[in-house]
Structure 1
């Protein structure tokens, strides 16, 4: 079913009509609470309704207050035989203007001084609301009282009494109805916990107990007189434990009941004379209203501060956790950096030591063959024997080969430290065959070396071919160089197991003494002075194996030979 939407230009008119209608209806309620044979009212509800609606709907609905007040006052004075129609209309118009000015002043002070349309969240604003109420009601009561005096409705002697009674009635009306309407207009979240239900049950049981005590004959008079005192703790309890709408609702109920019974001539507020009864009743309503509003605002403010403090603590705890995590991360980062720096320092120290050894050994090992060659050349010039000259040439050749081998090892070491690992397909059989063939010419051998090669490779294997060639060249050249005097044999076994290549190179040569084993991978370390080794071979092998993330193990026994075992993972 389609909904009927009114044009925007009629919305303000409807608000004004609604305000006028509500003002009139609550004015009728106020007249119902009037004392018999008295023009004074204990409370004027329209003042509270007009003030609340002006705050909620805005200043533009003020004509509704004027209209409602005009109609209500005309209806109130119309049956007064002492006043003519023109006087009634004049009085009613001035009073309506006074009621409108009263609400407009209050709305202005709320907007400009309190600056909060709901001034019951903080105790300071609640007190300001009380001062605003007293001031604005004084304006409305003054205009209304002046209208009655100027139209001879009251005498000069009755001005102060009328002004005070009117002012108190408007104040009570605002204290009762304005907080209630403003609370209803706000969204309220109701949570019915077990503890809260128990409190509500205790409240109703306590109320029932007071009612039962009133039925006891010898307690009736005392309990009636004590009812205002008994009601106050319960109302304060509502203000302390519940939202303002519940607390002010309790005040409103207690006030209406008190007014009703007082008008009927019973209860603790009945005194000699209606004016005295009204004043006592108004004082009671004012006290419980003010106490409830202030306490509710104080509790609300405290709860807000507690909530903010809780949020601050949670945020602070989160900040502490975040900062702790950041500090832990920073500590971890620093620790990693320190470890990295320590490794770098160790590496630098190692490289510096190696560099010192390198400079010393290079200067020695490069100059030694050159010095030998120069010496042999001088001998050859002096010696006229042809056979001796051939021997000198052979010795020069040997020195040149030694220097060439040394330079090649230095180049291999330099390339291994500088070049990135390169992934290539490796076929071990031609690689090993090529290594043996090159060493056959590069190493002078008095007797041929027997080779036993066993390779198990069914599929492709990927690694760095140049580094594998350097590793094999150095290990096999050592096996050839330090062979035994009879029947030298070199066995090479290769097995590819998935993504891992296992190599074993075994010889029956001279072997390495045990005291030299811990130092064999050091740069320029020579386990023996026998032969022309530079001491770089196994150092280069170890460096190349590390580059390939592999592992090397050497076992040796003097007089029986050496076995070198290699494990090299495949490069991804």
Structure 2
């Protein structure tokens, strides 16, 4: 029995590693379908593999890092431009692996909860994992491009900014969605499904119009995002934000809608500003709403328990009879 368990554990770890590598590679191929160019360097506005990597570490632990490294290597080998750069490829794999691990360590240090039910968890994911730890991958990857002569030294900071924001967007948009799917609850009631259907239809109409209209109408998405967060908390706001980010990225890479006739740098700034503010709004607003509702439920439960305790005490100690009046009971 013990021997079987010892053999089963390496098999499970190997299977987890292969699944993580496959998910990382698949997310990388999806991200590479939409690219932008800044100062001659090609990058993705949203790099989903960083979100997959951070989510895998949060759900499985440090043993997820080999799968992340293998997935990063497979993505790099699939690009012909990096096929002959052994040193560069090794450095990029290291940077793309170390950055999510550092994000996991930072989140673990502040006792991060994967259900994102607290406002502090949203802040930690934004500032520690996304904006903080992803500076490592951007610095290593862009630095290697400069060292190998693929990028001029004067173009370091614009490309670094684009690379960093793309990695950070992957954590802000993809990681919460994976964590949400991991803790998905049973189906909601029929009445809630009707409201969810209304939100889905509204998103299907408003988001394409806002991202494809020649008039800058991206602000129309925010009321829809707030509605989804108020009624369905994290699942509703994250799905809405993911859909809007994908549609905006497609429009930006096709030079359509509010991104028409803009320079590559202007497209990058406008798109990343929109994706970033929308992801922050969805994540932090949902965390605040969830935290307030959990607090209210805790207070209601405590009040209910207090009432039950008082009823129990009252039942065990009957009300004493009043003392007889003077002269009553005598004679």
- TM value normalised by structure 1: 0.52
Q: CA deviation at 1:16?
A: 1.1
Q: 1:180 to 1:247 in 2, by over 3 A?
A: same
Q: Within 1, Cα distance between the matches of 2:28 and 2:312?
A: 61
**2:185 pairs with 188, 206, 217, which one?**
188
Asked if the contact 1:119–1:129 (Cα under 8 Å) also holds between the matched residues in 2, the reply is no
Residue in structure 1 matched with residue 258 of structure 2 by the alignment: 268
Asked if the contact 2:41–2:151 (Cα under 8 Å) also holds between the matched residues in 1, the reply is no
Residue in structure 1 matched with residue 308 of structure 2 by the alignment: 318
Asked if the contact 2:28–2:48 (Cα under 8 Å) also holds between the matched residues in 1, the reply is yes
Indicate yes or no: 2:229 matched with 1:239.
yes
Correspondences of 1:513-532 after superposition (within 5 Å) = none
Q: CA deviation at 1:320?
A: 2.8
Q: 1:243 to 1:320 in 2, by over 3 A?
A: same
Q: 1:235 to 1:224 in 2, by over 3 A?
A: farther
Q: Secondary structure at the match of 2:185?
A: coil
**2:121 pairs with 115, 120, 125, which one?**
125
Residue in structure 2 matched with residue 173 of structure 1 by the alignment: 170
Residue in structure 2 matched with residue 95 of structure 1 by the alignment: 92
Asked if the contact 2:51–2:171 (Cα under 8 Å) also holds between the matched residues in 1, the reply is yes
Indicate yes or no: 2:287 matched with 1:277.
no
Q: CA deviation at 1:202?
A: 3.8
Asked if the contact 1:258–1:267 (Cα under 8 Å) also holds between the matched residues in 2, the reply is no
Larger fraction in helix: 2
Q: 1:188 to 1:271 in 2, by over 3 A?
A: farther
Q: Within 1, Cα distance between the matches of 2:263 and 2:271?
A: 13
**2:78 pairs with 75, 79, 83, which one?**
75
Correspondences of 1:56-75 after superposition (within 5 Å) = 56-75=59-78
Indicate yes or no: 2:282 matched with 1:287.
no
Residue in structure 1 matched with residue 21 of structure 2 by the alignment: 20
5+ residue gaps, structure 2: none
Q: Within 2, Cα distance between the matches of 1:207 and 1:43?
A: 20
Q: CA deviation at 1:270?
A: 3.4
Asked if the contact 1:66–1:97 (Cα under 8 Å) also holds between the matched residues in 2, the reply is yes
Indicate yes or no: 2:298 matched with 1:301.
no
Q: 1:150 to 1:242 in 2, by over 3 A?
A: same
Q: Within 1, Cα distance between the matches of 2:21 and 2:211?
A: 43
The alignment of Structure 1 onto Structure 2 pairs a total of residues equal to 321
Correspondences of 1:322-333 after superposition (within 5 Å) = 322-327=312-317, 329=318, 331-332=319-320
- List 4+ stretches of structure 1 deviating above 6 A: none
Q: Secondary structure at the match of 1:7?
A: helix
1:500-521 per-position Cα deviation (integer Å, ceiling 9, x unaligned)? xxxxxxxxxxxxxxxxxxxxxx
Q: Secondary structure at the match of 1:39?
A: strand
Indicate yes or no: 2:195 matched with 1:199.
yes
Q: 1:187 to 1:197 in 2, by over 3 A?
A: closer
Q: Secondary structure at the match of 2:176?
A: helix
Q: CA deviation at 1:207?
A: 4.4
Correspondences of 1:166-565 after superposition (within 5 Å) = 166-194=163-191, 196-204=192-200, 206-207=202-203, 210=206, 223-327=213-317, 329=318, 331-332=319-320, 335=321
Residue in structure 2 matched with residue 556 of structure 1 by the alignment: none
Q: CA deviation at 1:152?
A: 1.3
Q: 1:271 to 1:198 in 2, by over 3 A?
A: same
Larger fraction in strand: 1
Asked if the contact 2:115–2:180 (Cα under 8 Å) also holds between the matched residues in 1, the reply is no
Q: Within 1, Cα distance between the matches of 2:212 and 2:97?
A: 44
Asked if the contact 1:119–1:126 (Cα under 8 Å) also holds between the matched residues in 2, the reply is no
Q: 1:14 to 1:207 in 2, by over 3 A?
A: closer
1:379-414 per-position Cα deviation (integer Å, ceiling 9, x unaligned)? xxxxxxxxxxxxxxxxxxxxxxxxxxxxxxxxxxxx
Q: CA deviation at 1:209?
A: 6.0
Q: CA deviation at 1:267?
A: 1.6
Asked if the contact 1:40–1:275 (Cα under 8 Å) also holds between the matched residues in 2, the reply is no
Q: CA deviation at 1:325?
A: 3.1
Q: Within 2, Cα distance between the matches of 1:253 and 1:48?
A: 16
Q: 1:51 to 1:95 in 2, by over 3 A?
A: same
Q: Secondary structure at the match of 1:154?
A: coil
Asked if the contact 1:54–1:107 (Cα under 8 Å) also holds between the matched residues in 2, the reply is yes
